Amino acid sequence: MSVRASELRPWIRSWYRDWEGWCQRLMWNVVNEFGTLKVTYSTAYAAYKDSKIVSKNASKATAGAFHYWKYIAPDKAGIRRRLDHVALDLGGGRVFMASRRVESPHWQVNAGVTTVAEFTKVTGFTYLGWSRTNGKNTVTVIDDLSPAPAPKPVKTPAKPKPAPKPKPAPKPSGSTLRIVLPTWWFTFPTAQAARTATKGVQGRGVGPGTYAVRRTSGGAYEIAEGVWLSPQAKKHVRGKKVVKPTPTLRPKLRLPSYHWYKTAAQAEAHTSPRGGQYGGGTMLEGPYDVHEVSRGGARKVYSNANGWCWVSPQAAKYLV
């Protein structure tokens, strides 16, 4: 069985009596009329002792719960003893009880509704907590007095975020330097040869035309792999200043009048103090960049006088 909270007001009005001091009797009547009655308790204290307290937080209670307070007063014989106080939760924070401390207007003489906080404040009683039962007795209360909950606001779909602006393409790195040759020019296999521009070491001719500068070294310009123009080509340079790359450091040989050979195999086969047999042309003397090392330890260098040549593995002791 159950009872709507709104039905308790006309129901209590049919009881023409003063309810002051009859809190447990009021609970008994409600349970007997609308709930399940198993035990009759003479006082709220007796019902409290037979109930299981769920919480002392009154705001957590639901409709149909019973709230208890500690109350000591004289009984009919004038002896002070513990009687306690009880009220029925109607939902929405309201409790139904027999007391002159209920809100005005009363539903009946000294019976009506109030709140746990207000009743505790005006009486000074100690709130003991709430239980789902009045001892062994229960009643189901339907809360139809609380205002309907406000409808949840409809979430407006968020505006889609604008697509991020595309990042500008990175500017091409490197140099835009170029050389515009009006006539044919000799090229050189290394920057060193281009800087000295000695006859007999020129490579193939190029031009006329426009050539991109790959890198520079000591004023010489590389326009292709192993193709260098002399510093005199500067007057034909166009475009932005070249960003000079970090040069690749090559090992150097500082040779004291050393023999040279045309192939690595020949250089590896001769192991005399100065590189073995005479290889032809002038002797190698001075600093040379090492461009290649063979499996046998021979080293390839470039000589302005002799071009590409190899020195024996024993030349390693002259590395600087």
Q: Which pair of tokens denotes residue 246?
A: 């970090």
User: CB–CB of 74/65 below 8 Å?
Assistant: no
> In the sheet that 215-217 helps form, which strands lie side by side, from edge to edge?
215-217, 220-224, 227-229
DSSP 94-114: EEEEESTTSPSSPSBTTEEEE
Q: What backbone phi and psi angles, to 5 degrees, belong to 302?
A: -120, 125
CATH no. for 2-142: 3.90.1720
Q: Residue 242 pLDDT more than 50?
A: no
User: CB–CB of 135/47 below 8 Å?
Assistant: yes
3-state secondary structure 123-155: HCCEEEEEECCECCEECEEECCCCCCCCCCCCC
Residues 284, 287, 289, 292: is their CA dihedral positive or negative?
positive
CB neighbours of 195 closer than 8 A, spacing ≥ 6? Answer: 217, 218, 219, 220, 230, 231
User: CB–CB of 223/213 below 8 Å?
Assistant: yes
Distance of CA 204 to the CA centre of its chain: 61
Q: Which pair of tokens denotes residue 67?
A: 């709230």
Q: What is the model's pLDDT at position 277? A: 53
Per-residue pLDDT tens digits for 292-308:
888 888 899 888 778 88
Per-residue pLDDT tens digits for 4-17:
999 999 999 988 88
Task: State the distance between the two ends of the chain, measured CA to CA, in whole angstroms.
Answer: 107
Q: Residue 189 pLDDT more than 60?
A: yes
Per-residue pLDDT tens digits for 65-75:
999 999 998 87
Q: What is the model's pLDDT at position 173? A: 45
Mean local confidence (pLDDT), 31-52: 95
Can you tell me which residue has the tokens 């109930």?
51
Q: What is the pTM of this model?
A: 0.48
DSSP secondary structure code for residue 17 in this structure: S
